[in-house]
Structures are given as C-alpha cells and as structure tokens.
C-alpha cells in the first residue's frame, strides 16, 4: 500500500512567485494534516481536513496560504505570493479515524 | 498552551552503545499522549514509540524505550545497541487526549550513529 506522497520534493522560487504543494494521503484516510518546519525550529501544525472540509485551520500563518482538498482525496497548499520567511519543509500527514498519523517525506520550499 | 522542548540539537553515539535523547513538555492537562518520531535523511517521518500519560509503565519497542516522568514533565528516549540505521532526526511530540492528529512538536534532535 502506498504511503503519504508529496510533490515536489524540493522547490526553489523567487520571492513574489507562487508555489503549489501537493499531498496524496493514504487511500481511505479521511483526515489530512499540513505541518511546516522552518529551518532549525519545531514542526508546527498548519491545518486539518476531514474529507474535503477544513476542520481546524488555526495554524495557517496568513492569507497568502491557501489549502484545498477538493473531493476529499488529495490536497494542495498554495503560497501566493511567497516570501522569504516561507522557506522550510512542508509535511503532510494522514490518518484513518482512530488511527495513527502517517507522514510524507515533506516538500522543501526555498524562497530566494 | 502546550509546549515541547528538546534541548539537544545534535548528538552522536558509537555503534552498539546506548544514547538518551531528552524531551520536556508543559501542559495543564492530565490525560495526553507523548510520541517520539524519527525522520531518516530524505525519508518519511515514522512513529518510534508512544506513551499514554495515564499509564505509569514506560513504553518499550525493541531497542527503544522511554523514561516517562509525569510529575517532572519529562519524556526521554533511550536507544540501546545503537545501529547505523538509527541515524536520523528525532522529534518529541505531544497530543491532547482527544482523538486528533494535531501534534505539538519539539525542535528535534539530530542523532548521528558512528561506526
């Protein structure tokens, strides 16, 4: 069974550009989470989807970040326009109801 | 608000020896879960071990064990008989008792196992 997959693994963009990160959760996992680790700091929660609905988006840093999960399958996280402080590793995780959390390898974003 | 602190940014250990990674946390809740996750270089983060706060017995998974001190809010990870494949970044994490995947992580400890 495939795990949580994230694309791209690494993205390098200029300040002001747009980047879209994608996460494919484990099939059948209704819960999908986005986390972010800024260099040298702790991993921080961004938001939580239950199917296609945003259950908790308290960790989203500002309105330059837009997360979607159309159809309740894969999710995208768009950063527009990107700023230098957005650089970091973006992790996606999924979980079945009552199950443990499974993480992807992360998408490294570098904003120059 | 809950916080998790890992005070050791980097550690190293010789192969076959034992190493302990430290983690402290702060919470006013009585029931919660604590976790150690491992992320090898360029690989997925995986769960190493978990501890439920209402259980007094320390969790153990093969060569991995924890020293859970609830009163001191301490949750250290001991790796016995270290192997080269244990080289990774280790994250300590806290979760409230509610059924959720929302975790609060520490800053991480990079562990290097040397041959």
pLDDT at A15: 96
Q: In whole angstroms, what is the distance from residue B88 CA to residue B10 CA?
A: 10
**pLDDT over 90, % of chain B:** 83
Q: Any idea where the domains of chain B sit in the sequence?
A: 3-114
Q: Return d(Cα B108, Cα A90) in angstroms, integer.
A: 15
Task: Of B112, B114, B104, give the one whose Cα is nearest residue B40.
Answer: B112
| Inter-chain touch B101–A33, beta carbons under 8 Å | yes
Q: Tell me the percentage of chain B whose pLDDT exceeds 70.
A: 99
Cβ of A41 within 8 Å of Cβ of B45? The answer is no
In chain B, beta strands by DSSP E: 3-5, 10-14, 19-21, 24-26, 32-39, 46-52, 60-61, 64-69, 74-79, 88-96, 104-105, 109-114
Distance from C-alpha of A4 to C-alpha of A16, rounded to nearest angstrom:
29
What is the pLDDT confidence band of residue A1, given thresholds at 50, 70 and 90? Answer: low
Q: CA-to-CA distance for A23 and A25, rounded, in angstroms?
A: 6
3-state secondary structure of B99: coil
The answer to whether B104 contacts A45, with C-beta atoms less than 8 Å apart, is: yes
Which pLDDT score is estimated for A39?
A: 82
Domains, chain A, with CATH or none: 5-10+17-96 (2.60.40.10)
Check A103 against B45: CB less than 8 A apart.
Answer: yes
Class of the CATH-defined domain B3-114? mainly beta
* Rounded distance between C-alpha atoms, residue A75 and residue A99, angstroms: 20
* Residue that wins the pLDDT comparison between A97 and A51: A51
Of the residues B5, B37, B102, the best mutation for testing chain A's interface (the one with the most A CB atoms within 10 Å of its CB) is B102
Residue A2 has pLDDT above 90, yes or no: no
Residues of chain B below pLDDT 70: 99
> Out of B37, B39, B101, whose CB is closest to A48?
B101
pLDDT tens, position by position, A12-69: 999 999 999 999 999 999 999 999 999 878 899 999 999 999 999 999 999 999 999 9
**B28 phi/psi in degrees, rounded to 5:** -100, 0
* Residue B4 in contact with partner chain A when CB distance is under 8 A: yes
Of the candidates A31, A43, A103, the beta carbon closest to that of B44 is on: A103
């Amino acid at each position: 069974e495939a795990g949580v997959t994230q694309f791209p693994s690494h993205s390098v963009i200029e300040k002001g550009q747009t980047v879209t990160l994608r996460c494919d959760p484990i099939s059948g996992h209704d819960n999908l989470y986005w986390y972010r680790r800024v260099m040298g700091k702790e991993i921080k929660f961004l938001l939580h989807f239950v199917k296609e609905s945003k259950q908790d988006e308290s960790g989203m840093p500002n309105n330059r970040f837009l997360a979607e999960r159309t159809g309740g399958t894969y999710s995208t996280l768009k950063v527009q326009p990107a700023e230098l402080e957005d650089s970091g590793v973006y992790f996606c995780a999924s979980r079945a109801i009552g199950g443990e959390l499974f993480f992807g390898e992360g998408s490294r974003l570098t904003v120059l | 608000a809950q916080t998790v602190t890992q005070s050791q940014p980097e550690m190293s250990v010789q192969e076959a020896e034992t190493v302990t990674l430290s983690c402290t946390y702060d919470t006013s809740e009585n029931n919660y879960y604590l976790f150690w996750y491992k992320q090898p270089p360029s690989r997925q983060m995986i769960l190493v071990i978990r501890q439920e706060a209402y259980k007094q017995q320390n969790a153990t998974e093969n060569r991995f064990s924890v020293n859970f001190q609830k009163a001191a809010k301490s949750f250290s990870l001991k790796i016995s008989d270290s192997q080269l494949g244990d080289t990774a970044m280790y994250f300590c994490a806290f979760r409230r008792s509610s059924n959720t995947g929302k975790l609060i992580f520490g800053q991480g400890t990079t562990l290097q196992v040397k041959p």
